[in-house]
Amino acid sequence: MEFYQARAATLKAIAHPVRLHILDILRQAPECVCHLSAALAKPQPYISQQLAILRNAGVITDEREGSNVFYQLADASVTRQVAAVCGPLVDAALGHHPVAGCACPKCATAPAEHGASDESV
């Protein structure tokens, strides 16, 4: 019965539109709160609350890099669950996608790294 309780807790944690959207973004690349907030157009405290729920459920993990904390899916089983709900990734260019209004180190350096190729997409 413990197995099913654990699975139900995981499903309950991801069964929320914003949390599911967060997980869909995180299956492409680890991201920080400011990036998720800008990408979802939601206040940072709200995104932090949703991340706490996902972290407490064991769905995501976090890793500190300097002053930023980057969140990622906990393991392959979570990736499979998100894929089962959201479908396969459509974007062939997996990874971080810069978002306007995000000041994270990844978005701040993105134009210099990608150059004009991003403008043609």
* Mean pLDDT value of segment 46-50: 98
Which pLDDT score is estimated for 109?
A: 73
Segment 53-110, tens digit of pLDDT = 999 999 999 999 888 899 999 999 999 999 999 888 776 556 777 788 788 878 877 6
Which pLDDT score is estimated for 114?
A: 41
Asked whether the predicted pLDDT for residue 48 surpasses 90, the reply is yes
Question: How far is the C-alpha of 59 from the C-alpha of 83, rounded, in Å?
Answer: 14
Which pLDDT score is estimated for 55?
A: 96
Give the chain's mean pLDDT. Answer: 85
Which pLDDT score is estimated for 7?
A: 86
CB 49 within 8 A of CB 40: no
Helix (H) or strand (E) holding 68: strand 68-73
**CATH code for the structural domain at 2-118:** 1.10.10.10
Question: How far is the C-alpha of 27 from the C-alpha of 80, rounded, in Å?
Answer: 10
* Mean pLDDT value of segment 12-36: 94
Report pTM: 0.81
Asked whether the predicted pLDDT for residue 112 surpasses 60, the reply is no
